[in-house]
Structure 1
């Protein structure tokens, strides 16, 4: 069990983390007079801290490291390294996206998903079409759609004469967040104004004789409806493990038989989110005796009457979960929704929306280096400097709830075990891509000093050598990430000694 440590114990251990030792001279004979003891107070601890350059060299990351740290009370920059360098922030970008959404939409904003009808309702029968209309809720899940179907039944609907339409036009359709990611990674799905289960479909397989039973489901905590818009074929090969094709209006997948073993499961990205939500809703409506035709995507929402609705949690709660779990779909949806609120018009595409957020940041914080291509940080072409990231966080510190939404960053011992009850509190957003690591946020020291910082590390040459297939789990990627996080902690511990009051 890890014991809690006092501030004094921590400060002493920080010396060991820096890898420096203090040697005592061995005397051949006792001195004639008593030696004056060397002072070993706070000044001594500050003097023996290793320079930041030594910590960076020891991390052996290759590429480049930049950082900036300031006193959060005074705004005075205390230390920086390569301040003019703009680097990919990875998911640290979500901290700015959260601030953007909070300012433009408000912390109490709720996203609404509705069931609409054309042609009116007569004796429980919809005379025209039934429409599932998305309101850009990034958290809509299968359980919520089950409740929405039940609400439709409670409204007295028993049948629909026309078709079943699905509408996701509250936001522009994005085929995938980052085109440079492998086809099968669930963190780069499509995005639209109607999303379900973070646009992931659950693929499960079990050995059955010489073959496999496979299932594609819109799985949630309480329900497991099968879907047909996404299909999986097991193919006798070893590589590639997965292939994807947009075929006949469906997500057509194949998987290598040699990679499956006896059984397993994983989430796959959804490329047709409106059809996904429509199929799942159709299943639940039918369970209530309401037969619906196959869902059909419509581009424009016709004049229609609302029959049932469901609302998301407040934006504040959504953003807290986004920053904790780093959900890319949430970031893109709230970012594009904020752009629509800021401009009064639909963003042309994801890149245009991200550029509008960059413009907002320049106007709001006076920073110049920010140049984003998305709201999640998934794209490697996103750029911002450490001082500009830090400056934005500093200005958001007052008059914003952002700090309270950030996740605690655990400090660890030399065996990477979390140190419980550590005297330093770090609230920050992490960011990780292959050979890219970022961390930005706030440090609360035991004496009440508060620091604001940003650290970015990237080995873009090493990243550029990866094929798309290697980008899910590249060789050496995990150990590089551990060294980057160790460097982040070493810098924070250095600052805690140098800049405590």
Structure 2
């Protein structure tokens, strides 16, 4: 598993059954849970590693709804990744297992030979798995159609979603973290873990102490600027690199030290305005396939 910074302030919520039941009482309920569930969960929740954490647990029988175990079940907690369970269930129920997201390249205007006299549109529907390779494949299709020049603009259409990019309760100091990436109907994931709306910043030490570390972005894009303030230090020194994006911008600041000979350090960083990020990646792909857009993005 790759080392990545996790949220520092989210309380713990434990899901121990497929069905969740809520009760107005915060007391522990005994009964059928005495067969072993209660003791097992109590042991987990008294682990010293959870000191200072908040836990809320309800175990219910999926068939009858009977509460088998409860501990602070009515507390209000930040659900964190557990939200993926009801979200996935809702998506499966509403969209179905055969649903596919569409990301389209569309055009307005007229076509004359290899010239499109109009605008080229990139329209997204919220695909969270779109990679730079997918935008490259789409650009290849545009080129294969015979278009070599677009006289108008490249327009990114993200109107399938609203304009609220961040959750109302998301912590401001998590803004540059991959798990706090802004939401959009058009975005890019840097890897097949599908951390949509983020880039991977990889830092390698320089050849000698005092040298600037070598940085690499995945995917490669000029949409993100790197401000390198870090330095390479002698072998054996601790690695103290910090990689954070400045608030409201796409300037990623790299500070701290990395020792000579150390393994590359990787950090997943969210991108500000994911629609523009997707458009920039697509524009680069068009250019690499010989399609020139003369207007702005």
Partners of 2:104 and 2:146 lie apart in 1 by 16
Question: Matched residue of 2:74: which SS?
Answer: coil
Q: CA deviation at 1:243?
A: 4.4
1:55 equivalent to 2:43? Answer yes
Question: Matched residue of 2:250: which SS?
Answer: strand
Partner of 1:203: 201
Distance 1:182 1:293, change over 3 A: farther
Partner of 2:273: 272
- Which stretches in structure 1 are left out of the alignment for 5+ residues? 1-45, 219-225, 297-501
Partner of 1:307: none
| Contact 1:135/1:193 (<8 A) preserved | yes
Partner of 2:179: 187
Partners of 2:259 and 2:78 lie apart in 1 by 35
TM-score (normalizing by structure 1) = 0.43
Q: CA deviation at 1:53?
A: 8.3
Partner of 1:74: 64
1:253 equivalent to 2:252? Answer yes
Q: Which moved more, 1:272-281 or 1:126-135?
A: 272-281
| Contact 1:142/1:280 (<8 A) preserved | yes
Partners of 1:294 and 1:260 lie apart in 2 by 45
1:57-456 mapped onto 2 (5 Å cutoff): 58-60=46-48, 61-62=50-51, 64-177=54-167, 178-197=170-189, 198-206=196-204, 207=206, 210-218=211-219, 226-235=220-229, 241-245=242-246, 251-259=250-258, 262=262, 263-293=264-294, 296=297
**How many residues were matched structurally?**
242
Partners of 1:195 and 1:50 lie apart in 2 by 44
- Which stretches in structure 2 are left out of the alignment for 5+ residues? 1-33, 190-195, 232-238
For residues 282-315 of structure 1, give each alpha carbon's deviation from its aligned partner in whole angstroms, at most 9, with x where no partner exists: 222122211124752xxxxxxxxxxxxxxxxxxx
Q: CA deviation at 1:56?
A: 6.0
Distance 1:236 1:82, change over 3 A: closer
| Contact 2:198/2:269 (<8 A) preserved | yes
For residues 184-225 of structure 1, give each alpha carbon's deviation from its aligned partner in whole angstroms, at most 9, with x where no partner exists: 32111111110111111122233255223323231xxxxxxx
Q: CA deviation at 1:126?
A: 0.9
Q: CA deviation at 1:132?
A: 1.3
For residues 426-480 of structure 1, give each alpha carbon's deviation from its aligned partner in whole angstroms, at most 9, with x where no partner exists: xxxxxxxxxxxxxxxxxxxxxxxxxxxxxxxxxxxxxxxxxxxxxxxxxxxxxxx
| Contact 2:175/2:247 (<8 A) preserved | no
Partners of 1:276 and 1:294 lie apart in 2 by 17
Question: Matched residue of 1:187: which SS?
Answer: helix
Partners of 2:147 and 2:274 lie apart in 1 by 25
Q: CA deviation at 1:227?
A: 0.9
Distance 1:208 1:109, change over 3 A: same
For residues 66-125 of structure 1, give each alpha carbon's deviation from its aligned partner in whole angstroms, at most 9, with x where no partner exists: 433233333333333334333333211111112222333333222111111121222131
Partners of 1:159 and 1:267 lie apart in 2 by 35
TM-score (normalizing by structure 2) = 0.69
Partners of 2:138 and 2:273 lie apart in 1 by 21
| Contact 1:235/1:255 (<8 A) preserved | yes
Q: Judging by fraction of residues, say which structure has more helix.
A: 1
Higher relative contact order (CA 8 A, sep 6+): 1
| Contact 2:132/2:281 (<8 A) preserved | yes
| Contact 1:173/1:193 (<8 A) preserved | no
1:28-43 mapped onto 2 (5 Å cutoff): none
Question: Matched residue of 2:181: which SS?
Answer: coil
Q: Find runs of 4+ consecutive structure 1 residues off by over 6 angstroms.
A: 46-50, 237-240
Partner of 1:317: none
Question: Matched residue of 2:105: which SS?
Answer: strand
Partner of 2:31: none
